Amino acid sequence: MNKIYILYALPIVVFIINRIPYVGKYFRVINTLIHESGHAIAALITSGEVYTVELFSDTSGTAVTKTKGKFSQFLVSIAGYPFGSAVAFLLFYIISKEEYRIVLYILACFALLNLMFYVRNTYGIFWLVSFTALVFVVNFYGGEFLQYAFTAWLSGIMLFEALYSSIELVIIANKKSKSAGDAYNLKQLTGIPAMIWALLFVAQSGYFIYLSIGLFFKV
């Protein structure tokens, strides 16, 4: 199969497969891992602390951090969605250069660093260990096409789930803003409605999708 066909089908494949019971949720946790890592990195950059990161089987997650001052809290709260989209774009850039193993190493590093330093809940540990093992199997035993398809799929999960989850956040913010996660935290810090933040997350995810498409197709 020509590699370009995978890219054409990727948005639909990600949406459908990721909603298959158990299998879909398992792989969607990669998006949670990167999202929560964004919060953690923002805390560390602003001289804060990261106490723990948790990953759950329903694809939700938390990053418990300590920061100094409202501006640091703002950066930590806003970091998750843009970081996830930016990492996905970076991985697609590397894929466009046909350096699939680098993508696998980057994903393994995210998993192993979280496993060593932050994730302590049972499902989180299980997921990180099993996911890292899967990445290494593909890296050492998979051929070039399998590595391409696998890395494109995982990167697509991050890229498109950032859009899907931010759209869901808009719906939640409209119905019950206190349940709108990062958007509600930003509302508490800035006074700007959670709906506005949710819409901004949708816009940034759409922008990174546009940039990623431009890596492979003329747009």
pLDDT for position 1:
46
pLDDT for position 169:
92
pLDDT for position 208:
96
Burial class of residue 171, CB neighbours in 10 A (0-12, 13-18, 19+) = exposed
Angle at alpha carbon of residue 216, lines to 214 and 217, rounded to 5°: 65
What domain range is 41 assigned to?
3-216
Q: Which residues contact 11 (CB under 8 A, 6 or more apart)?
A: 156, 160
Overall number of domains in the chain: 1
Residue numbers in the chain where pLDDT is lower than 50: 1
Q: Answer whether 0.95 is exceeded by the pTM.
A: no
pLDDT for position 23:
84
